[in-house]
Amino acid sequence: MKRYLTTLFMILSGVILIIGLQIDFRWNGIVSWGLSFISLIFAVYFTKYIPNEKNQKSKN
C-alpha cells in the first residue's frame, strides 16, 4: 500500500494547485504552493517503498 502513496501525493499536489489557485482570497498563492510543496516532500519520502526490479533480479 505504501508504494502507491507517491502517486497519491503527486496527484494531490496537482489538485491542490488547480483548486487552490482558483479560489480568490488574500494568501491563496502562498498557501496552495506551500501545501503542494509539503505533499511533494511526502511523495519523495515514500519513493523508497517502490520496488526496484533491478535489485530484486540481482539478489536471486
Write out the DSSP string of 5-45: HHHHHHHHHHHHHHHHHHS-STTHHHHHHHHHHHHHHHHHH
Average pLDDT, integer, range 6-33: 91
Q: State percent of the chain over pLDDT 90.
A: 48
Residue 55 pLDDT: 64
Task: Please report, in angstroms and rounded to a whole number, the separation of the first and last CA atoms in the chain.
Answer: 24
pLDDT above 80: residue 4:
yes
Model pTM score: 0.77
pLDDT above 80: residue 60:
no
Domain locations in the chain? Answer: 2-50
Average pLDDT, integer, range 19-42: 91
Instruction: Identify whether the C-beta of residue 43 lies closer than 8 Å to the C-beta of residue 10.
Output: yes
